[in-house]
Amino acid sequence: MIKLHNIHKYFSKHHVLKGVDLTVENGEVIVILGPSGSGKSTLLRCINFLEHPSCGIIDINGMKIDSETASKKDIRALRMSTAMVFQQYNLFKNLTALQNVTLGLTSVKKIDEKKARKIAQQLLNRVGLNDRMKYYPSQLSGGQQQRVAIARALALKPDILLFDEPTSALDPELVDEVLSTIKQLANEGNTMIIVTHELGFAREVADRVILMEEGLIIEEGPVEKIFSNPVEERTRKFLGKALKRFIIEPNDIKLELGVEK
Amino acid sequence: MNKFIDFNFLFESIKMIIVYLPLTLQLTFISMLLGLIIGLFTALTRIYKIAVLKQLSTFYISYIRGTPLLVQLYLVYYGVPRILYIFQTQYDLFDNISVNGISPEFIATIAFAINLGAYLSETIRAAIESVDRGQFEAASSIGLSQTQIMLKIVLPQAAVAALPNIGNTLISTIKDTSLVFTITVIDIMAEAKIIGARGLGYFEVYIAVSLIYWATCMIIVKFLNLYERHLKRYERGIV
């Protein structure tokens, strides 16, 4: 179980997260939605201390880390039990697809080269890249790069997978291959938090949806409830606007939301 | 001597001068290596903003880049024996080295290393900063330490980015070593002067020495290009 308690983040004087509490059960898939600048990505990055929270406690399966007392060792331990997939893939450009996946295994987990390669091959197989192992990132398409990044994240067997807008930088025709890979991981019972703008995908994959605005969670609940019957007017407005922008399955969702045509 | 160029003498000169090429190359490569180490170290103090060391590095780079190499050669040539003398008389250190026995080649290597360190520091710093921040984040997010990130991700890519500049510096250094005759080192330039001074014609010896510099630089450029292509193998486009 992952528990976030009272997470605050300031960027100099700018108060980006204003006390976020969140509990994620093991095996649960959470999607965070919200307008740009609402603090979704910052929250995700606070979970593995890519942004050091200004205050708050992060508890991953009993490993409690207080942002005010966190040591370098605590942060490394935390990062080993979480993994992140980035919007810009961020693959290591000087390493092949295979080496991108094995690096964490050999350098962080100290698994020997041979075994690491085996694990990496299995993972790349799983994301459908068995014929691209020896390719460098520059030789792969965006979708392929993002799938390598997903394999890299899975390699460390993290307690939780964090996805930061994993399809936002992709060409539209490459989005599906990445989404279906993530869907597959969700079905396999991985614990995940996903920040995305793909509403259709959110609806398919999420167990629970969280709406953020101005650094706070304004509404959370099971996916069907949020999409069909949100309590908050702000949620309704956001979903309505987002649908107009992205036009994903417009008719059925619009009808459910009661948005005027 | 009524010919424009005395070719016989030119070839004779080349044969005599080229004997000293290994010294020029040794001077260049050893000081380059030391310069790279100094450059990397000073670049890191500035990137990681390490107090005191960072200010010292900035001062060092500014001073070296703002003074002529020839002056620096003289400063090291006259400075090292003095420093050694003080160590020996006041702290009883390095007693086994004779102040008068320090070879000018050693002095020249030190002077060039100090000079190159400053120029390479800027090159290395720019190259390290050119590696995009995202890879740094990705590496931290899987738990790699700062040192591991530097060694396995950042430096290999920075090396590729820095190589063209390092290559240019290497070529300049080969030519700059022609100054070492001023501190009594006999390199290819000094030998050319000596042969020329025998009264047989400066023009031919300088043509000879220019051809040797040129050929050496061309060969090194060729190797650098091959090496660069090898390092850049991961930048090839989609296959």
Choose between A59 and B89: higher pLDDT. Answer: A59
Q: Is the pLDDT of residue A242 over 80?
A: no
Cβ-defined contact of A90 to B239 (cutoff 8 Å)? no
Strands A55-60 and A208-213: unpaired
pLDDT cut 90: percent of chain B above it: 75
ipTM score: 0.85
- Following CA atoms A88, A93, A96, A101 in sequence, which dihedral angle do they give, to the nearest 10 degrees? -50
> For B210, what's the count of Cα atoms within 13 Å in the CB-facing half-sphere?
7
Judging contacts by C-beta atoms under 8 Å, the chain B residues touching residue A138 are 234-238
Candidates A90, A107, A152; nearest CB to B134: A90
Annotate A55-98 with three-state secondary structure: EEEEEECCEEEECCCCCHHHHHHHHHCEEEECCCCCCCCCCCHH
pLDDT tens digits for A122-141?
Answer: 999 999 999 999 999 999 99
Beta bridge partners of A194: A31, A163
Give start and end residues of each alpha helix (H) in B48-182. Answer: 53-65, 69-86, 104-130, 133-141, 146-149, 155-176
Question: Residues A38, A80: contact at Cβ < 8 Å?
Answer: no
Closest chain B residue to A75 measured between Cα atoms?
A: B143
Q: Mean pLDDT over residues B184-189, rounded?
A: 93
Return the H-helix or E-strand segment holding B18.
Answer: none
Query: What pLDDT does residue A261 have?
Result: 42
B-contacting residues in A 70-109 (Cβ below 8 Å): 76, 79-80, 82-84, 86, 88, 90-96, 103-104, 107-108
Collapsing DSSP states into helix, strand and coil, what is residue B199?
Answer: helix
A-contacting residues in B 160-179 (Cβ below 8 Å): 160
pLDDT tens digits for B15-59?
Answer: 999 999 999 999 999 999 999 999 999 999 999 999 999 999 999
Backbone angles phi, psi at B173, to 5 degrees: -65, -40
Closest chain B residue to A94 measured between Cα atoms?
A: B234
Judging contacts by C-beta atoms under 8 Å, the chain A residues touching residue B237 are 138-139
Q: Does any CB of chain B come closer than 8 Å to the CB of residue A160?
A: no
Query: What pLDDT does residue B6 have?
Result: 85
Candidates A92, A135, A156; nearest CB to B135: A92
Query: What pLDDT does residue A198 have?
Result: 86
Beta bridge partners of A85: A163
Cβ-defined contact of A86 to B138 (cutoff 8 Å)? yes
Per the structure block, which two tokens stand in for A40?
A: 């979704």
Q: How far is CA A137 from CA A97, A143, A163, B160, in A?
A: 7, 11, 19, 16
Amino acid at B234: Y
Cα angle: B169, vertex B173, B175; to 5 degrees: 125
CA B232 to chain A, closest CA, distance in angstroms equals 9
Q: Could you count the other beta carbons within 10 Å of the beta carbon of residue B52?
A: 8
Cβ-defined contact of B141 to A83 (cutoff 8 Å)? yes
Cβ-defined contact of B137 to A50 (cutoff 8 Å)? yes
Question: Residues B173, B73: contact at Cβ < 8 Å?
Answer: no
Helix axes A172-187, A142-155, angle to 10 degrees: 20
CA A198 to chain B, closest CA, distance in angstroms equals 23
pLDDT cut 90: percent of chain A above it: 70
Per the structure block, which two tokens stand in for B167?
A: 């290559």
Closest chain B residue to A78 measured between Cα atoms?
A: B143
Residue A230: band (very low, low, confident or very high) from pLDDT cuts 50, 70, 90: confident
Of B200, B178, B206, the residue nearest B27 (C-alpha): B178
Q: How far is CA B137 from CA A10, A86, A92, in A?
A: 19, 9, 11
Cβ-defined contact of B234 to A138 (cutoff 8 Å)? yes
Q: Is the pLDDT of residue B239 over 60?
A: no
Q: For chain B, what is the mean pLDDT?
A: 91
Cβ-defined contact of B143 to A80 (cutoff 8 Å)? yes
Alpha carbon distance B22, A41 (integer Å): 59
Q: For chain A, what is the mean pLDDT?
A: 89
CA B98 to chain A, closest CA, distance in angstroms equals 48
Cβ-defined contact of A107 to B236 (cutoff 8 Å)? no
Question: Residues B125, B45: contact at Cβ < 8 Å?
Answer: no
Residues A179, A181, A185, A188, CA torsion sign:
positive
pLDDT tens digits for A51-75?
Answer: 999 999 999 988 899 999 999 889 9
Per the structure block, which two tokens stand in for A252?
A: 């059925």
Q: Is the pLDDT of residue B105 over 50?
A: yes
All domains of chain B in start order, with CATH: 7-238 (1.10.3720.10)
Per the structure block, which two tokens stand in for B216?
A: 């050496």
